[in-house]
Amino acid sequence: MLLNQIDICRKSFAEYVERKLHSAGSMQDHSFIRENMLLKLHHSMRVCGIAKRISNEEAFSDNEKIISYLCALFHDIGRFDQFMKFKTFLDSKSFNHAEYGYEILVNTDIIEGVDVETRRIIAGSTRLHNRQNIPDETDPYLRRFVNITRDADKIDILELFCNYHSSRAKNKNDALELDLPDTVGFNSEIVELIYAKKTISNSLRKNYNDMKLIHLAWVLDLNYRESFRTIKRRKTLERFSEFLPKEAEITEVISFVHEYVRHKSE
Ligand SMILES: [Fe+2]
């Protein structure tokens, strides 16, 4: 596949987002909608950069590097309509944005010009990127790209929240807090699942601290060595920990995750 495929797809992605921003312009709450659409646009572009680095470091073929980039570019394509229609990023209060994105990719011409097999991978990876667990029957080739998309997505969301938590007092964005109450305490069941290295259902999220703990748990679900190295290099855990409750149970589980990252980065 040609490198200029990336330019073509970036252009059609940008045009798609531009159309959505334009339609949102005449709506009530347009500045709130616009702020959150731009947040997803910038997130998608950063996820491309992270996926690019992982695919380089993990010695993907040139073709696989391009596919990784395109999967990252389109993974959240469903978020724009989601926010415009429902003003939330909560799938449970709107629709599954990954399934919706899959439908856009297979039913519109947004990735027209990309070969059929690559379209299958981009659409499939978009569809599976937010699953708690990837279905066992997923073919290994698709899984390779789902994994890189999921890693890059998680790394950027962790970064986004490190920045958000630190500026939250000045710039609160209710859309990022998913209607969760900012109460004291946390769900110990999440901590137990972190030790068990299990993926965690969002249904266990009862308050804002639980959301942070689930984000912490994502680190255990990374796949590529370069992903762990990125977490280490960015000092993500050190920065993220500042915003978690200062309790022994939490400090200990952070050390556990830290040790896991150290081990997996070697
Ligand atoms: Fe997503």
What secondary structure does DSSP assign to 176-212, as a single string? GGTT----S---HHHHHHHHTT----GGG--SHHHHH
CATH of the domain at 136: 1.10.3210.10
Q: What is the pLDDT of residues 35-71, one digit of tens each?
A: 999 999 999 999 999 999 999 999 899 999 999 999 9
Ligand 1: centre distance to CA 176 (Å) = 13
| Domain end position, chosen among 133, 151, 169 | 151
Ligand 1: centre distance to CA 246 (Å) = 30
| Domain end position, chosen among 97, 130, 151 | 151
The per-residue pLDDT for 179 is 87
Ligand 1: centre distance to CA 160 (Å) = 14
The per-residue pLDDT for 2 is 67
Ligand 1: centre distance to CA 247 (Å) = 31
Question: Residues 6 or more apart from 153 whose CB is under 8 A from it?
Answer: 47, 72, 75, 76, 129
Q: What is the pLDDT of residues 111-123, one digit of tens each?
A: 988 999 999 999 9
Share of the chain above pLDDT 70, in %: 99
Considering the domain boundaries, does residue 235 fall inside one?
Answer: yes
Asked if 190 and 130 sit in the same domain, the reply is no
Q: Which of 84-88, 168-172, 242-246 has the lowest mean pLDDT?
A: 168-172
The per-residue pLDDT for 28 is 86
Question: Residues 6 or more apart from 206 whose CB is under 8 A from it?
Answer: 180, 187
Ligand 1: centre distance to CA 255 (Å) = 28
Asked if 106 and 207 sit in the same domain, the reply is no
For residue 226, what are the domain limits? 180-265
Considering the domain boundaries, does residue 40 fall inside one?
Answer: yes
Considering the domain boundaries, does residue 170 fall inside one?
Answer: no
139 closest CA partner among 125, 158, 151: 125
Asked if 142 and 193 sit in the same domain, the reply is no
- Number of compact structural domains in the chain: 2
| Domain end position, chosen among 110, 133, 151 | 151
The full DSSP string for 41-68 is HHHHHHHHHHHHHHHHHTT--HHHHHHH
145 closest CA partner among 218, 75, 198, 232: 75
Gap between the Cα atoms of 36 and 145, Å rounded:
26
Asked if 259 and 143 sit in the same domain, the reply is no
Asked if 47 and 140 sit in the same domain, the reply is yes
Ligand 1: centre distance to CA 72 (Å) = 10
Considering the domain boundaries, does residue 174 fall inside one?
Answer: no
Gap between the Cα atoms of 53 and 152, Å rounded:
9
Asked if 73 and 184 sit in the same domain, the reply is no
The per-residue pLDDT for 6 is 93
Ligand 1: centre distance to CA 217 (Å) = 17
Q: Structure pTM?
A: 0.95
The per-residue pLDDT for 113 is 81
